[in-house]
Structure 1
Amino acid sequence: MKNKNVAFMTQAAMIAAIYVVLTYVFAPFSFGEVQIRIAEALTILPVFTPAAIPGLFVGCIVGNILGGAILPDIIFGSIATLIGAFFTYQLRNKSRFLAPLPPIIANTVIVPFVLRYGYGVALPIPFMMLTVGVGEVVGCGVLGLVLYTALNRYKNVIFKTA
């Protein structure tokens, strides 16, 4: 039991750390009206481990803070990632092509409102939903499924929980 808790916390911490690093390294693409957050590829990880849910949430909070995001972005952007991760976990036994949909939908709906009301971006919300959505399809959908394909072969080794 204790080993499973340690494995869970270790996996969550590693996922959070990787999310932060990817957000920070690719910061020029990770923020703004048109964004492709490379770290969002990690939102596929709840398919492999429930530890990815808190890991992605904490990683997004820290990544947003280090990226200079404002408080509404830190809160609501991270909640969008949490919602996406939770529902990706719920879809873990369904088609792998469904797994990226929850974070794509959550971010496409929530982030444009943060851009409008938090940052004062004057673009129409439906247009920002389109631009954020396209970035999420690239980050979560395309890159996420590439990551899924790479990890799926080794899932029993990488995500073993003692």
Structure 2
Amino acid sequence: MNTRFLTKASLIAAIYIVLVLIQMLPMPLVNLTFGAIQLRIAEGLTLLPLVESAAIPGVFVGCLLANLLLAPYTGFGLVDILGGSLVTLIAAYITSKMKNKVMAMVPPIVLNGLIVSIWVSYYTSVPYLVTALGIGGGELLSVAIFGTLILSVYKKAANLKEY
């Protein structure tokens, strides 16, 4: 690993955390970030591993730290801190192996929808199917809308020449 890689990964992690914290500012929206229906804007960053390898550890560390910082507000505890972060890491790695943007959207949507829903359903007492659809649907919106925007901005920024 070199300094440039670590810097990119750190910036992506920091952006992930900031996006989660901004979304948490109006406390009623905490359930949109951690509940049975989730629309976590920061999850748009999960498309970046398609074009940037530093995004794999970046989104993992960002998710881990965001989940750790906000664990007292969610009630999901260690399973969400570690489990949710590992799901993000696995999804990021698989995303990095995809051939196009549409296919790259599948891992974070499917893995979060199916796996994270297990404990969220348990802790919220919302039926698993409802939770899986809520989390998967929110992930779809986040990745399709915010992820596409983030990917576009990243590609444009990457094309800028350093002076």
For Structure 1 versus Structure 2, the TM-score category normalised by the shorter chain is 0.7 to 0.9
Alignment: residue pair count: 152
SS across alignment from 1:34: coil
Range with greater deviation from structure 2 (46-55 or 140-149): 140-149
Following superposition, the deviation at residue 115 of structure 1 comes to 0.8
Aligned with residue 85 of structure 2, among 78, 97, 109? 78
- Which residue of structure 1 lines up, in the alignment, with residue 102 of structure 2? 97
Structure with the bigger percentage of helix:
2
SS across alignment from 1:98: helix
Following superposition, the deviation at residue 88 of structure 1 comes to 0.8
Runs of 4+ in 1 over 3 A off after TM superposition: none
Which structure 1 segments of 5+ residues have no match? none
Aligned with residue 144 of structure 2, among 141, 146, 151? 141
User: In structure 2, how many angstroms separate the alpha carbons of the residues matched to 1:15 and 1:154?
Assistant: 14
TM-score norm. by structure 1 comes to 0.87
User: In structure 2, how many angstroms separate the alpha carbons of the residues matched to 1:61 and 1:107?
Assistant: 14
Q: Does 1:7 align with 2:4?
A: yes
User: In structure 1, how many angstroms separate the alpha carbons of the residues matched to 2:115 and 2:144?
Assistant: 18
User: In structure 2, how many angstroms separate the alpha carbons of the residues matched to 1:81 and 1:45?
Assistant: 12
- Which residue of structure 2 lines up, in the alignment, with residue 26 of structure 1? 23
Which structure 2 segments of 5+ residues have no match? none
The one-letter code matched in structure 2 to 1:113 is I
TM-score norm. by structure 2 comes to 0.86
Aligned with residue 42 of structure 2, among 39, 44, 56? 39
